[in-house]
Amino acid sequence: MNHKGTKQIETDMLLLRRFRIEDAEAMFRNWASDDRVTQYLSWPSHENVAATRRLLNDWISQYERLDYYNWAIELKEIHEPIGNISVVSYEKRTASAMLGWCLGENWWGRELMPEAARAVLQFLFEAVDFNRLAAKHDTENAKSGRVMQKIGMVREGVLRAGGRNNRGIVDEAYYSILREEYEKSSGQSVKLRWRMGPDT
């Protein structure tokens, strides 16, 4: 693999970029304080902006690492982050990674999460040289599963009582896509839809 760190990626509607501490208020307002969003996350809803700043300070401190990938999903039309997408973990031996994402409720159903995820898949397969990218979701969170299907991931199965989030111990559905599958499904028009920008 050829780790590059969290590079800026631009799509039609989105700017995927590194978080900044100035994002704290928008993050708190747009998704981090929303119980409907965080019910499927491993961290609880933030009670105040200070809690969001603490989390952002932790995330931002890791950007010096070339193997750290955590993007703010900025919606161009409002110039604010509305969610995030990241590499939760990766396995060097198999060149595989687990992705995770969340999006503010006000933007559900607008095809924004698939757009962000497709761009990240392309970056991780083509620029970083991963061979397998995977994702998982609480089986009660069907919306996340639909995103995985839309970006070409294949459902592998369900790990019963295999995860824990703010709802407690939950069943988790696992999906993945291999580089060879990605290459077969991606066309030139898709490859031209994003560009890698500056580091920040």
Q: Three-state secondary structure along the chain?
A: CCCCCCCCEECCCEEEECCCHHHHHHHHHHHHCCHHHHCCCCCCCCCCHHHHHHHHHHHHHCCCCCCCCEEEEEECCCCEEEEEEEEEEEECCCCEEEEEEEECHHHCCCCHHHHHHHHHHHHHHHHCCCCEEEEEEECCCHHHHHHHHHCCCEEEEEEEEEEEECCEEEEEEEEEEEHHHHHHHCCHHHHCCCEECCCC
Query: Bridge partners of 132?
Result: 96, 178
* pLDDT at site 83: 98
* pLDDT at site 188: 41
* pLDDT at site 5: 95
Sketch out the chain's domains with CATH numbers.
9-193 (3.40.630.30)
Sign of CA dihedral 47, 31, 99, 65: negative
Read off the pTM: 0.91
* pLDDT at site 195: 56
pLDDT tens per residue across all 200 residues of the chain: 899 999 999 999 999 999 999 999 999 999 999 999 999 988 899 999 999 999 999 999 999 999 999 999 999 999 999 999 999 999 999 999 999 999 999 999 999 999 999 999 999 999 999 999 999 999 999 889 999 999 999 999 999 999 999 999 999 999 999 999 999 887 543 443 445 655 54
156, 2, 137: which is closest to 66 by C-alpha?
A: 2
The CA distance from 29 to 27, in Å, is 5
* pLDDT at site 197: 59
The CA distance from 122 to 126, in Å, is 6
